[in-house]
Amino acid sequence: MSDTSEDSGLDRGTGRIAEDGVFVVGTDTGVGKTVVTAGLTGWLRDAGTEAVAVKPCQTGYPPDDDAAFVESVCGATEAAVCLKRLSPPLAPEVAAREADDDVTLSYESIRDGVADVVAGSETAVVEGIGGLRVPLADGREIIDLVSDIGLPALVVARSGLGTLNHTALTVRALRQRDVPVVGVVLNEYEGATTAERTNPSVIERMTGCSVWPVPPLDVESSDSVISGISTDLPRSVVRPAIDQ
Protein backbone atom coordinates (compact mmCIF):
# COMPACT_ATOMS: atom_id res chain seq x y z
CA MET A 1 0.00 0.00 0.00
CA SER A 2 1.37 3.43 -0.90
CA ASP A 3 1.83 6.35 1.47
CA THR A 4 -1.39 7.90 0.24
CA SER A 5 -3.36 4.68 1.15
CA GLU A 6 -6.49 3.48 -0.54
CA ASP A 7 -8.48 5.83 1.72
CA SER A 8 -6.83 8.85 0.11
CA GLY A 9 -10.06 10.11 -1.43
CA LEU A 10 -11.72 10.35 1.98
CA ASP A 11 -11.51 13.05 4.63
CA ARG A 12 -8.32 12.84 6.66
CA GLY A 13 -8.11 12.98 10.45
CA THR A 14 -9.52 16.24 11.80
CA GLY A 15 -7.28 16.29 14.86
CA ARG A 16 -10.00 18.13 16.77
CA ILE A 17 -13.10 17.50 18.81
CA ALA A 18 -16.17 19.47 17.78
CA GLU A 19 -17.54 22.11 20.13
CA ASP A 20 -20.48 19.88 21.01
CA GLY A 21 -18.42 16.76 21.61
CA VAL A 22 -16.88 13.54 20.37
CA PHE A 23 -17.84 9.88 20.04
CA VAL A 24 -15.15 7.60 21.51
CA VAL A 25 -15.23 4.36 19.53
CA GLY A 26 -13.15 1.22 19.87
CA THR A 27 -11.70 -1.34 17.52
CA ASP A 28 -12.93 -4.00 19.97
CA THR A 29 -14.06 -4.49 23.54
CA GLY A 30 -11.55 -3.92 26.32
CA VAL A 31 -9.30 -1.59 24.37
CA GLY A 32 -9.56 1.30 26.84
CA LYS A 33 -12.47 3.43 25.63
CA THR A 34 -13.63 4.10 29.18
CA VAL A 35 -10.23 5.33 30.36
CA VAL A 36 -9.95 7.66 27.36
CA THR A 37 -13.54 8.85 27.88
CA ALA A 38 -12.88 9.57 31.55
CA GLY A 39 -9.60 11.34 30.81
CA LEU A 40 -11.13 13.53 28.11
CA THR A 41 -14.17 14.38 30.23
CA GLY A 42 -12.00 15.24 33.23
CA TRP A 43 -9.61 17.29 31.07
CA LEU A 44 -12.48 19.29 29.62
CA ARG A 45 -14.09 19.83 33.02
CA ASP A 46 -10.78 20.92 34.56
CA ALA A 47 -10.51 23.44 31.70
CA GLY A 48 -13.86 24.94 32.65
CA THR A 49 -16.12 23.13 30.17
CA GLU A 50 -19.19 21.38 31.62
CA ALA A 51 -18.47 18.15 29.76
CA VAL A 52 -20.68 15.10 30.25
CA ALA A 53 -19.78 11.52 29.36
CA VAL A 54 -22.61 9.43 27.90
CA LYS A 55 -22.81 5.63 27.96
CA PRO A 56 -25.73 4.64 25.71
CA CYS A 57 -26.01 1.16 27.23
CA GLN A 58 -23.96 -0.68 29.85
CA THR A 59 -23.87 -4.45 29.75
CA GLY A 60 -22.25 -6.73 32.32
CA TYR A 61 -23.71 -4.54 35.09
CA PRO A 62 -22.67 -5.01 37.79
CA PRO A 63 -19.70 -5.13 38.10
CA ASP A 64 -19.06 -3.18 34.90
CA ASP A 65 -20.18 0.44 35.18
CA ASP A 66 -18.32 2.79 32.84
CA ALA A 67 -20.35 5.86 33.80
CA ALA A 68 -19.53 5.31 37.48
CA PHE A 69 -15.83 5.13 36.60
CA VAL A 70 -16.04 8.49 34.79
CA GLU A 71 -17.90 10.00 37.76
CA SER A 72 -15.15 8.75 40.08
CA VAL A 73 -12.35 10.14 37.91
CA CYS A 74 -14.08 13.50 37.57
CA GLY A 75 -15.22 13.62 41.19
CA ALA A 76 -18.74 14.59 40.17
CA THR A 77 -21.94 12.57 39.69
CA GLU A 78 -23.08 15.00 37.00
CA ALA A 79 -20.00 14.18 34.89
CA ALA A 80 -21.57 11.03 33.38
CA VAL A 81 -24.88 9.46 32.49
CA CYS A 82 -25.81 5.91 31.49
CA LEU A 83 -29.07 5.47 29.60
CA LYS A 84 -29.56 1.73 30.10
CA ARG A 85 -27.94 -0.98 32.24
CA LEU A 86 -28.20 -4.70 31.52
CA SER A 87 -26.79 -7.64 33.48
CA PRO A 88 -25.57 -10.09 30.81
CA PRO A 89 -22.02 -9.27 29.60
CA LEU A 90 -23.06 -9.42 25.96
CA ALA A 91 -23.80 -7.09 23.05
CA PRO A 92 -26.75 -4.88 24.07
CA GLU A 93 -29.27 -6.42 21.67
CA VAL A 94 -28.29 -9.92 22.81
CA ALA A 95 -28.11 -8.92 26.49
CA ALA A 96 -31.65 -7.55 26.38
CA ARG A 97 -32.88 -10.80 24.87
CA GLU A 98 -31.03 -12.94 27.43
CA ALA A 99 -31.82 -10.84 30.51
CA ASP A 100 -33.79 -12.55 33.28
CA ASP A 101 -36.31 -9.75 33.57
CA ASP A 102 -38.47 -8.38 30.79
CA VAL A 103 -36.20 -5.85 29.10
CA THR A 104 -37.20 -3.67 26.18
CA LEU A 105 -34.32 -2.08 24.31
CA SER A 106 -35.25 0.33 21.56
CA TYR A 107 -32.76 1.81 19.10
CA GLU A 108 -34.90 4.92 18.76
CA SER A 109 -34.98 5.53 22.52
CA ILE A 110 -31.21 5.07 22.80
CA ARG A 111 -30.53 7.35 19.83
CA ASP A 112 -32.90 10.03 21.08
CA GLY A 113 -31.57 9.77 24.62
CA VAL A 114 -27.99 10.29 23.49
CA ALA A 115 -29.05 13.14 21.21
CA ASP A 116 -30.87 14.83 24.10
CA VAL A 117 -27.79 14.69 26.33
CA VAL A 118 -25.56 16.00 23.54
CA ALA A 119 -27.98 18.85 22.83
CA GLY A 120 -28.29 19.73 26.52
CA SER A 121 -24.58 19.61 27.33
CA GLU A 122 -21.83 22.13 26.73
CA THR A 123 -19.70 19.24 25.44
CA ALA A 124 -20.57 15.54 25.36
CA VAL A 125 -18.13 12.62 25.27
CA VAL A 126 -20.14 9.63 24.07
CA GLU A 127 -18.59 6.21 24.68
CA GLY A 128 -19.30 3.33 22.35
CA ILE A 129 -19.89 -0.31 23.27
CA GLY A 130 -17.30 -2.74 21.97
CA GLY A 131 -16.53 -2.24 18.28
CA LEU A 132 -18.56 -0.57 15.55
CA ARG A 133 -20.41 -3.70 14.38
CA VAL A 134 -21.73 -4.64 17.83
CA PRO A 135 -25.53 -5.19 17.66
CA LEU A 136 -27.26 -2.41 19.59
CA ALA A 137 -31.04 -2.78 19.20
CA ASP A 138 -33.72 -3.38 16.56
CA GLY A 139 -31.17 -4.70 14.08
CA ARG A 140 -29.06 -1.55 14.32
CA GLU A 141 -25.40 -1.43 15.31
CA ILE A 142 -23.05 0.92 17.16
CA ILE A 143 -21.90 2.42 13.87
CA ASP A 144 -25.50 3.41 13.12
CA LEU A 145 -25.62 5.32 16.40
CA VAL A 146 -22.28 7.04 15.70
CA SER A 147 -23.52 8.09 12.29
CA ASP A 148 -26.93 9.27 13.54
CA ILE A 149 -25.55 11.31 16.45
CA GLY A 150 -23.24 13.18 14.07
CA LEU A 151 -20.22 13.79 16.31
CA PRO A 152 -16.64 13.25 15.11
CA ALA A 153 -15.10 9.97 16.26
CA LEU A 154 -11.95 9.31 18.25
CA VAL A 155 -10.76 5.75 17.67
CA VAL A 156 -9.22 3.81 20.57
CA ALA A 157 -7.14 0.77 19.64
CA ARG A 158 -4.68 -1.69 21.14
CA SER A 159 -1.01 -0.87 20.72
CA GLY A 160 0.51 -4.24 19.88
CA LEU A 161 0.43 -6.96 17.28
CA GLY A 162 -2.86 -7.34 15.42
CA THR A 163 -4.05 -3.76 15.70
CA LEU A 164 -3.29 -2.63 12.13
CA ASN A 165 -6.15 -4.48 10.48
CA HIS A 166 -8.73 -3.62 13.15
CA THR A 167 -7.77 0.05 13.24
CA ALA A 168 -7.67 0.59 9.48
CA LEU A 169 -11.03 -1.15 9.01
CA THR A 170 -12.58 0.91 11.82
CA VAL A 171 -11.41 4.19 10.30
CA ARG A 172 -12.59 3.10 6.85
CA ALA A 173 -16.03 2.11 8.18
CA LEU A 174 -16.45 5.50 9.86
CA ARG A 175 -15.46 7.39 6.72
CA GLN A 176 -17.80 5.35 4.60
CA ARG A 177 -20.57 6.71 6.84
CA ASP A 178 -19.21 10.27 6.53
CA VAL A 179 -18.10 10.39 10.17
CA PRO A 180 -15.06 12.66 10.65
CA VAL A 181 -12.22 10.93 12.49
CA VAL A 182 -10.34 13.01 15.06
CA GLY A 183 -7.47 10.56 15.30
CA VAL A 184 -6.38 7.26 16.81
CA VAL A 185 -5.32 6.56 20.39
CA LEU A 186 -3.05 3.53 20.80
CA ASN A 187 -3.81 2.60 24.38
CA GLU A 188 -1.38 1.08 26.91
CA TYR A 189 1.58 1.78 24.65
CA GLU A 190 4.92 0.66 26.06
CA GLY A 191 7.04 0.28 22.93
CA ALA A 192 8.28 -3.08 24.17
CA THR A 193 7.95 -4.88 20.84
CA THR A 194 8.76 -4.12 17.23
CA ALA A 195 5.05 -4.19 16.45
CA GLU A 196 4.31 -1.53 19.07
CA ARG A 197 7.19 0.68 18.00
CA THR A 198 6.25 0.59 14.31
CA ASN A 199 2.44 0.62 14.60
CA PRO A 200 2.00 4.40 15.09
CA SER A 201 3.74 5.35 11.84
CA VAL A 202 2.15 2.49 9.89
CA ILE A 203 -1.36 3.42 11.07
CA GLU A 204 -0.71 7.05 10.17
CA ARG A 205 0.31 5.97 6.67
CA MET A 206 -2.61 3.56 6.27
CA THR A 207 -5.31 5.94 7.49
CA GLY A 208 -3.97 9.47 7.22
CA CYS A 209 -5.00 9.99 10.87
CA SER A 210 -2.94 11.45 13.67
CA VAL A 211 -1.94 8.66 16.06
CA TRP A 212 -1.32 9.25 19.77
CA PRO A 213 0.29 6.48 21.86
CA VAL A 214 -0.88 6.56 25.49
CA PRO A 215 1.10 4.53 28.06
CA PRO A 216 -0.58 2.41 30.75
CA LEU A 217 -2.28 4.67 33.29
CA ASP A 218 -3.04 4.05 36.94
CA VAL A 219 -6.83 3.71 36.73
CA GLU A 220 -7.05 3.86 40.52
CA SER A 221 -5.80 7.45 40.40
CA SER A 222 -8.04 10.17 38.98
CA ASP A 223 -5.06 12.46 38.52
CA SER A 224 -3.20 9.78 36.56
CA VAL A 225 -6.10 9.23 34.17
CA ILE A 226 -6.71 12.91 33.46
CA SER A 227 -3.07 13.99 33.36
CA GLY A 228 -2.15 10.98 31.22
CA ILE A 229 -4.70 11.80 28.55
CA SER A 230 -3.99 15.54 28.65
CA THR A 231 -0.23 14.91 28.44
CA ASP A 232 -0.25 12.39 25.60
CA LEU A 233 -2.97 13.94 23.44
CA PRO A 234 -2.27 17.39 21.98
CA ARG A 235 -4.17 20.36 23.37
CA SER A 236 -5.49 20.99 19.86
CA VAL A 237 -7.75 17.97 20.33
CA VAL A 238 -9.92 19.79 22.84
CA ARG A 239 -9.27 23.42 21.92
CA PRO A 240 -12.51 23.90 19.95
CA ALA A 241 -14.49 22.76 22.98
CA ILE A 242 -12.71 24.86 25.61
CA ASP A 243 -12.33 27.96 23.43
CA GLN A 244 -15.98 28.26 22.36
User: Is there a binding annotation on residue 194?
Assistant: no
129 annotated among ligand-binding-site residues: yes
199 is in an annotated binding site: no
Does the annotation place 237 within a ligand binding site?
A: no
Q: Where does 99-180 have alpha helices with state H?
A: 107-120, 142-149, 163-176
Is 84 annotated to bind ligand? no
Is 188 part of any known ligand binding site? yes
By the 8 A CB rule, do 170 and 33 touch?
no
36 marked among binding-site residues: no
- Residue 165: phi and psi, rounded to 5, are -60, -50
Has 84 been annotated as catalytic? no
| Of 121, 7, 110, 112, residue with least CA distance to 59 | 110
d(CA 197, CA 99): 43
Query: Catalytic one among 26, 43, 52, 55?
Result: 55
Residues 6+ apart with CB under 8 A from 107: 136, 137, 138, 139, 140, 144, 145
Q: Say if residue 229 carries a ligand binding annotation.
A: no
127 has binding-site annotation: yes
165 is in an annotated binding site: no
What's the CA gap between 35 and 30, in Å, rounded? 10
User: Would you tell me how many other CB atoms lie within 10 Å of the CB of residue 50?
Assistant: 12
- For residue 63, what is the DSSP state? T
110: amino acid identity, one letter? I
| 73 annotated ligand binder | no
Annotated binding residues for Mg(2+), written as ranges, equal: 34, 66, 127
State the catalytic residues.
55
Annotated binding residues, written as ranges, equal: 30-35, 59, 66, 127-130, 187-188
Annotated binding residues for substrate, written as ranges, equal: 59
